Structure 1
Amino acid sequence: MSITEFSHSKEAFTETLSRILLIPEYRIIKLHLQLEQWGEPCDLSYGKCNLQKAGEILMRTSLSSFLYLNYSLNEAIQHIAMAGFDAVDIWGGRPHAYRNDLHEHDIRSLHNQLDDFGLEIASFIPAQCDLCSPHTAIRMDGIRDIQTSIELAARLEASIISILPGHSLHHQCPDEGWDLLADSLARIGEFAGHYDVLLAIEPADKYASDLINTTVQAMDMIDQIGCDNFGVVFDTGHALIAGEDTDTAIRALGDRLFHIHLSDNHRERDERLIPGKGRFDFQTLIATLKSTQFEGFLTAEPGWQYTLDPDSAAIETREFLEFILQE
């Protein structure tokens, strides 16, 4: 059990308390009000139960800050904590953590906020860039974008950075795109070697990439570039579209499985539905992860359609993850 304690003004306390009480399943362990700042002692403490049994492999839940793209990163972190997640995956687009937007005082503020809420950073998700373009200037810009993201992730103490492969151009031979991507990733891997971070290739759906759609292709790329700091993100939505067998894929990845992204669809397109709303078999996923002793984060990635009411999506997602982890 982990309990995070912090103090507020009377107004902030009232707002925080109302948010917590709106979530009956939040599992408040201790709620103690003292009125010190208003003439008597004041303190608010709350926490979350570890729902897994003693001896079980610990898998923790995270939510991509992308769901709160209409909010500041600080606001996103607050809402994600209030929804009951253990961690946040920081989206590297604006207004959250784009390239050089965050300065030292911003990073200190984020660290303090994460500590206050007892949240970890599960991974850093850079803004999309082109790593396989036949145009050298564009590809080099993409490499620099990822390198900047690596520097920022290290300052944020995020240990995993996910990378999408991109798509070759309509007139470009896919083999050329593959080789250019391999060169880009090799450069990025060498650069990342100077930082305490791991790089995770995320196989994309067939509409977003014609280079890496499966975990097998991701491992082929890792074998080609020969960088020890590369692994794979297993994305449930992308795996469903690609027709991957979950148990086989997870076991084949072994210790190269760095991270898990959770979304759902109906096998036709990357709908980015809340987990459990489509056709992916999450029970098999959790059973395999427990069997292989995976101890990382399970990060939910609800799509654009949920961004106008992100709190409802966050709570519904957390409730589903809680359900499948208890089975």
Structure 2
Amino acid sequence: MGSEIGMFSYSATQWIFGKEELEASFERLRKFGYDGIELAGEPGSTDLGKVRRLMNESGLACTSICGIYSADRDLSHHDPATRTAAVQYVKDCVDMAAVLGAKIVIVVPTSVGRTSPLTSSGQEWKLAVDSLRHAGAYAASKDVYLAIEALNRFETYLVNRLESAKQLAEQVNHPHVGIMADLFHMNIEERDHVQALRQIASRLVHVHIADNTREAAGLGQTDFTEVIRALIEIGYRGALTMEFLPPVSNPYLAAASIGSNAVFDDYARQSIGHLKEIVSNLTE
């Protein structure tokens, strides 16, 4: 599905555009040459028929589903009912992915915003392993892959670095449970982007792109040439999915309030242009 000599496909995650209508998000990405869109993981409130119509009209694929891990969707929670509901939520996202032809569902082992254990990190790690095994088995039945995301220390606590995501994936030990690399979180937690990517090469199934400021690629200090070179060399051929936001104190509130602000047109254009130029220079 890739557009630049078949190397990668280019996508952007929907949730960053806040409350704007889906039509506007699809049109923005179509206009700037994207191949796909990553949809927010809200299967209960998403009109899948409408999404499929927009996909057909725009020519965009659904590359992935971005799970939204609120407190009631906590895969490592000590309460069995909460944990069961969280696993069911992942399964529902998998069903959503399967209907739309997406191959990836992003998973965060704890709820976003919980930065310390409710019981102990050891117990919650074990509970996350168990939850991911159950969800991974279901994902495999739908030919969908789960991608463990490592979030920075200010947003969660259990898995902050790609090394920890790899350890978790290894303990889950399921072929349909892999790892996602998010460049924004890596800018906070990793000492070396390239080394971190190489370390997880065999399990890498998804990539999120933002600069160190969380803005569009090329506006900050991240060396995307070395990042893309590493992705090419380790054989990653999936989507490069933009997850940019303006530099504000609370990105989630910003996404809800900014909506269709023209900054997102600028960022969408900037990100894909910057990455495509790098890919072209590295592969010519």
TM-score normalised by length of structure 2: 0.84
Secondary structure in 1 aligned to 2:201? helix
Report whether the alignment pairs 1:292 with 2:234: yes
Q: SS at 2:74's partner residue?
A: coil
Distance 1:231 1:253 in 2: 9
AA matched with 1:130: D
| Contact kept in structure 1, 2:32 and 2:268, CA below 8 Å | yes
Residue 171 (structure 1) shift = 4.7
Map 1:74-85 to 2 at 5 A: 74-85=23-34
Alignment correspondent of 1:90: 39
Secondary structure of the equivalent of 1:123? strand
Matched position secondary structure for 1:200:
strand
Kindly indicate whether the alpha-carbon contact (under 8 Å) linking 2:39 and 2:66 is maintained by their aligned counterparts in 1: yes
Match of 1:220 in 2: 167
Q: CA deviation at 1:262?
A: 0.6
Superposed CA offset, 1:114-166 (max 9, x none): 13322122211122131112222222221111111111111111111111122
The alignment's TM-score, normalised by the length of structure 1, stands at 0.74
| 1:79 counterpart letter in structure 2 | R
Name 1:130's counterpart in structure 2.
74
Cα separation, 1, equivalents of 2:104 and 2:243 = 16
Which residue number corresponds to residue 150 of structure 1?
A: 94
Worse overlay, 147-156 or 299-308: 299-308
- Percent identity of equivalent pairs: 24
Instruction: Compare CA radii of gyration and give the structure with the larger one.
Output: 1
Q: 1:207 to 1:215 in 2, by over 3 A?
A: same
CA gap 1:183/1:168 in 2 versus in 1, 3 angstroms: farther
1:203 positional shift: 0.9
Gaps of at least 5 residues in structure 1 are 3-48, 93-97, 266-270
CA shift, 1:170, in A, is: 4.9
Alignment RMSD (CA, Å): 2.2
**Contact 2:90-2:135 at 8 Å conserved across structures:** yes
The ranges of structure 1 where at least 4 consecutive aligned residues each deviate by more than 6 angstroms after the TM superposition are none
Greater Cα offset, 149-158 or 236-245: 236-245
In the alignment, the residues of structure 2 paired with residue 115 and residue 197 of structure 1 have an alpha-carbon distance, to the nearest angstrom, of 21
Q: Given residue 100 of structure 2, which amino acid in structure 1 is its aligned partner?
A: L
* Equivalences for residues 3-82 of structure 1 within 5 A: 50-52=3-5, 58-82=7-31
314-323 vs 166-175, greater mean Cα deviation: 166-175
For structure 2, the residue ranges without an aligned partner over 5 or more in a row are 246-250
The letter of the residue matching 2:74 is D
Distance (Å, rounded) in 1 between the aligned partners of 2:225 and 2:122:
37
1:283 paired residue number: 225
Relative contact order: is structure 1 or structure 2 higher (C-alpha 8 Å, sep ≥ 6)? Answer: 2
2:161 and 2:186 in contact (8 A); partners too: yes
